[in-house]
């Protein structure tokens, strides 16, 4: 069973991935936060947007191929290849921070890459407003994230909502992070687990 956790910066993807992995005794695949361009990107987004996104795309493809080769019974992935393209690269292009030429090149690489990997059995989308994201970003204290522009986060939220509502054609379970805290409220985490169990039962019934 392949479960992916999607959501904006600071939405709690890594935390939920850790909790689900521990609960199910499963294997987790976390987002690569060691991108060598990320510090430069937050200092000068227009200069480093293409390099940042190409690195993330390559890292995500490599991770997903490793995940498939591992053949574990249950895996949880922190962010997907689709978000790299439809959310982050698309947003950078829309904001004028990635040129049309660079964006077209990026999408050609993405189109080929996306044929190599399967769609998640279930996508858990952590939906959060910008104030909630800012609170979480400040709480976790990553230095390179402290100057993230709120308008940038807002644009990403718009892209996420459009992707979930109009583009992504897989199964989605939405968690409203403004009102549902799976860390402090066990009932929320139990509800998420119930959805995962339902998907697992359906997959077993198809075998």
Q: Which range marks the domain in which residue 68 is found? A: 2-206
Tens digit of each residue's pLDDT, the chain (207 residues): 899 999 999 999 999 999 999 999 998 888 877 899 988 988 898 999 999 999 999 998 888 888 888 877 889 999 999 999 999 999 999 989 999 999 999 999 999 999 988 899 999 999 999 999 998 888 776 666 666 778 889 999 999 999 999 999 999 999 999 999 999 999 999 999 999 999 988 888 886
CATH of the domain at 60: 3.40.50.300
Q: Does residue 150 contact residue 129 with C-beta atoms inside 8 Å?
A: no
Q: Look at residues 54, 67, 85, 181 and name the one whose alpha carbon lies nearest to residue 121.
A: 67
Other CB atoms within 10 A of residue 108 CB: 10
Is position 78 annotated as part of the catalytic site?
yes
What is the count of structural domains for the chain? Answer: 1
Residue tagged active-site, from 40, 78, 169, 176:
78
Which phi and psi angles does 104 have, rounded to 5°? -65, -40
């Amino acid at each position: 069973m392949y479960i992916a956790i999607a959501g904006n910066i600071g939405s709690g993807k890594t935390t939920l991935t850790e909790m689900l992995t521990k609960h199910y005794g499963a294997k987790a695949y976390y987002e690569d936060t060691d991108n060598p361009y990320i510090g430069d990107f937050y200092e000068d987004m227009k200069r480093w947007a293409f390099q940042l996104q190409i690195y993330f795309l390559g890292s995500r493809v490599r991770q997903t191929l490793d995940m498939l080769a591992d053949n574990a019974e249950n895996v949880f992935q922190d962010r997907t290849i689709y978000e790299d393209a439809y959310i982050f690269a698309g947003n950078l292009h829309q904001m004028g921070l990635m040129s049309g030429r660079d964006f077209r090149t990026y999408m050609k690489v993405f189109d080929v890459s996306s044929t190599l990997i399967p769609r998640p059995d279930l996508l858990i989308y952590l939906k959060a407003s910008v104030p909630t994201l800012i609170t979480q970003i400040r709480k976790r204290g990553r230095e390179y994230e402290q100057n993230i522009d709120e308008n940038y986060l807002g644009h990403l939220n718009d892209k996420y909502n459009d992707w979930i509502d109009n583009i992504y054609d897989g199964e989605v379970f939405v968690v409203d992070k403004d009102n549902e805290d799976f860390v402090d409220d066990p009932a929320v985490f139990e509800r998420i687990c119930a959805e995962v169990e339902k998907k697992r039962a359906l997959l077993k019934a198809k075998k």
